[in-house]
C-alpha cells in the first residue's frame, strides 16, 4: 500500500475516533461533580478515578448552601451528575427537594453501612465525624461535661459556647437529642443550655475551640475534625490552643457520641448517570476511602478500611451513637422549630 494511502486511512481512523468521543461526551466519558469539598488530597482522589475509568471530572467547588442554590436555579437543565456535601440535615433537605435519583448499586449497599445511607438509597455517607465536647483545662473539669445534656447543668452557668442553633451541625445534634430524650425534654435542655451561654452564639466550630482556649468559655461543642486540624497544624498558635483544651466523647454512659457525615448523591437530572454510579462506587473503594476521610481528618465509613491519621487515632476509641443518620435527618425540621422556640439564635 502506498504511504499516502496509509496516511489517509490513519487520518480517517483518527477522525472517526474523535467523532465517536465527542458524540459520547454527554454519555459518561465525563463526570460533572458539584463538590463542597476542597482539600489538597482530593487531587489524587479524582486523578486516580480518571486513571482507572478514563472518565474525566469537571469540578465545580462551592460552599454547601451555594451548591444547593445553584442546583435549584439550574433545575432540569443542570449539568451536574454527582453532589458532595456535608451534614445529614443538608442531604435530607436536598433529597426532600427532589434533587436526587435513587442509585441501585450492590457495591454501595454492601460497602456503606445501612445506618449511613438513605433508606431509599438516594444518598450515601463516605466519611464520618463526631460532635465532641471541648473544655478549658484551666476553667473546667472533664466531669463537668460528660454528655450533651450536661451543657444545661446548673454548674455550667455562664460557661457554654456554641455556634448558632440554626447551623446544620447544631440542627443535627438537636435532632438526635430529640430522638433520644423526646421533644419535651430536648426543649427544656435547649432552653437551659441557652441560659448557660458565656456569650451569644457566634462563629464556626474552630472559633468555639479558640474561645475555650482563650478563657472566654469553659466548655463548647465542635466537630472532631476541627480539633484534629488544629492538632496537625504547623502553626505554634494552633498548637498552643490544643494544649489548653481537653476533649470529651459525649454520652459514653448511654447512647453514645453524635455522628454525622459527608455524603454524596447522584442528581435526578444527571446527564452521565453511568459515570455517576461508577464515581460513587469508586468513593467506597479502599483507596478512595483513605483519601476521602483523611482529606478532612474524618473516619472512613467502610468498616474494613482503617484510617491513616495518627492525630485522629490519638483521640482513642469511643462509643458512637448508632441512631441511623436518616432518622436524625428526618427530625431536622422539628429541631429548627425547637431552637427557634428556645431562642438558640
Ligand atoms: Fe465543617
CA of 330 to the centre of ligand 1 (A): 20
Mean pLDDT, residues 71-86: 96
102: left (phi over 0), alpha (psi -120 to 50) or beta: beta
The length of the chain, given as a count of residues: 345
pLDDT at residue number 38 = 84
**Is the entire prediction scored with pTM above 0.85?**
yes
Residue 22 has pLDDT above 70, yes or no: no
CA of 6 to the centre of ligand 1 (A): 59
Mean pLDDT, residues 74-88: 96
- What's the pLDDT tens digit per position in 254-294? 999 999 999 999 999 999 999 999 999 999 999 999 999 99
- CA atoms within 13 A of residue 112's CA, in its CB half-sphere: 33
- What's the pLDDT tens digit per position in 225-239? 999 999 999 999 999
pLDDT at residue number 294 = 92
CA of 45 to the centre of ligand 1 (A): 20
Mean pLDDT, residues 23-45: 83
Residue 11 has pLDDT above 80, yes or no: no
CA of 87 to the centre of ligand 1 (A): 9
Express the helix, strand and coil content of the chain in percent, nearest 5 each: 50, 15, 35
CA of 160 to the centre of ligand 1 (A): 20
CA of 180 to the centre of ligand 1 (A): 24
Of 298, 30, 328, residue with least CA distance to 174:
328
CA of 250 to the centre of ligand 1 (A): 19
CA of 31 to the centre of ligand 1 (A): 25
Q: Give the E-state strand segments of the chain in sequence order.
A: 30-35, 56-61, 82-86, 100-101, 124-136, 160-161, 219-223, 245-248, 259-267, 299-300
CA of 25 to the centre of ligand 1 (A): 34
Q: pLDDT grade, residue 6 (50/70/90)?
A: very low
Mean pLDDT, residues 100-123: 97
pLDDT at residue number 20 = 37
pLDDT at residue number 17 = 38
CA of 237 to the centre of ligand 1 (A): 21
pLDDT at residue number 5 = 45
Give alpha helix (H) positions in 165-309.
Answer: 168-181, 183-195, 205-214, 224-232, 236-244, 273-283, 286-295
199 within 8 A of 161, measured Cβ to Cβ = yes
d(CA 57, CA 44): 12
d(CA 321, CA 335): 18
175 within 8 A of 332, measured Cβ to Cβ = yes
Higher-scoring residue by pLDDT: 308, 265: 265
- What's the pLDDT tens digit per position in 193-215? 999 999 999 999 999 999 999 99
Q: pLDDT grade, residue 27 (50/70/90)?
A: confident
CA of 202 to the centre of ligand 1 (A): 15
Mean pLDDT of the chain: 92
DSSP symbols for 45-64: HHHHHHHHH--EEEEEE--H
CA of 282 to the centre of ligand 1 (A): 23
- CA atoms within 13 A of residue 93's CA, in its CB half-sphere: 20
d(CA 184, CA 223): 26
CA of 41 to the centre of ligand 1 (A): 17
Mean pLDDT, residues 53-62: 97
Q: What dotted CATH number matches 129-258+318-342?
A: 3.40.190.10
- What's the pLDDT tens digit per position in 320-329? 999 999 999 9
Residues of the chain with CATH 3.40.190.10: 3-128+260-313, 129-258+318-342
pLDDT at residue number 266 = 98
Quote the percentage of the chain above a pLDDT of 70.
92
CA of 171 to the centre of ligand 1 (A): 13
The class of domain 3-128+260-313 in CATH terms is alpha beta
Residue 24 has pLDDT above 50, yes or no: no
CA of 66 to the centre of ligand 1 (A): 15
CA of 164 to the centre of ligand 1 (A): 14
pLDDT at residue number 307 = 86
CA 50 to each of CA 25, 28, 56, 263, 275: distance values in angstroms, whole numbers, following the listed order = 15, 12, 6, 20, 11
CA of 23 to the centre of ligand 1 (A): 40
pLDDT at residue number 308 = 87
CA of 312 to the centre of ligand 1 (A): 16
CA of 2 to the centre of ligand 1 (A): 65
Q: In the structure grid, which three cell numbers stand for residue 278, read together? A: 461508577
Mean pLDDT, residues 72-91: 95
Q: pLDDT grade, residue 26 (50/70/90)?
A: low
Environment class of 185 (CB within 10 Å of its CB; exposed 0-12, middle 13-18, buried 19+): middle
User: Poorest-confidence range of 21-35, 123-137, 145-159, 204-218?
Assistant: 21-35
Amino acid at each position: 500500500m502506498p504511504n499516502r494511502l496509509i496516511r489517509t486511512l490513519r487520518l480517517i481512523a483518527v477522525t472517526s475516533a474523535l467523532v465517536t468521543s465527542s458524540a459520547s461526551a454527554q454519555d459518561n466519558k465525563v463526570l460533572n461533580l458539584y463538590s463542597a469539598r476542597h482539600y489538597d488530597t482530593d487531587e489524587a482522589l479524582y486523578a486516580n478515578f480518571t486513571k482507572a475509568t478514563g472518565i474525566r471530572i469537571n469540578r465545580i467547588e462551592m460552599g454547601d448552601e451555594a451548591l444547593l442554590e445553584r442546583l435549584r436555579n439550574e433545575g432540569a437543565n443542570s449539568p451536574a451528575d454527582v453532589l458532595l456535601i456535608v451534614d445529614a440535615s443538608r442531604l435530607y433537605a436536598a433529597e426532600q427537594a427532589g434533587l436526587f435519583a435513587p442509585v441501585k448499586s450492590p457495591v454501595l449497599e454492601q460497602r456503606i453501612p445501612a445506618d449511613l445511607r438513605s433508606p431509599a438509597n438516594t444518598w450515601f455517607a463516605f466519611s464520618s465525624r463526631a460532635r465532641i465536647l471541648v473544655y478549658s483545662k484551666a476553667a473546667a473539669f472533664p466531669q463537668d461535661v460528660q454528655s450533651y445534656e450536661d451543657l444545661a447543668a446548673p454548674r455550667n452557668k455562664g460557661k457554654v459556647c456554641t455556634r448558632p442553633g440554626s447551623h446544620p451541625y447544631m440542627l443535627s445534634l438537636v435532632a438526635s437529642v430529640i430522638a433520644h430524650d423526646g421533644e419535651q425534654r430536648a426543649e427544656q435542655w435547649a432552653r437551659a443550655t441557652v441560659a448557660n451561654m458565656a456569650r451569644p452564639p457566634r462563629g464556626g466550630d474552630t472559633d468555639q475551640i479558640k474561645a475555650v482556649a482563650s478563657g472566654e468559655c469553659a466548655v463548647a461543642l465542635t466537630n472532631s475534625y476541627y480539633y484534629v486540624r488544629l492538632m496537625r497544624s504547623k502553626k505554634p498558635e494552633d498548637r498552643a490552643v490544643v494544649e489548653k483544651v481537653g476533649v470529651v466523647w459525649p454520652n459514653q454512659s448511654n447512647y453514645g457520641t453524635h455522628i454525622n457525615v459527608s455524603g454524596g448523591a447522584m442528581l435526578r437530572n444527571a446527564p452521565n448517570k453511568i459515570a455517576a454510579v461508577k464515581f460513587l462506587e469508586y468513593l467506597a473503594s479502599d483507596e478512595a476511602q483513605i483519601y476521602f476521610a483523611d482529606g478532612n481528618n474524618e473516619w472512613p465509613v467502610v468498616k474494613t478500611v482503617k484510617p491513616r491519621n495518627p492525630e485522629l487515632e490519638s483521640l482513642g476509641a469511643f462509643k458512637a451513637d448508632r441512631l441511623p443518620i436518616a432518622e436524625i435527618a428526618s427530625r431536622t425540621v422539628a429541631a429548627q422549630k425547637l431552637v427557634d422556640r428556645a431562642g438558640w439564635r
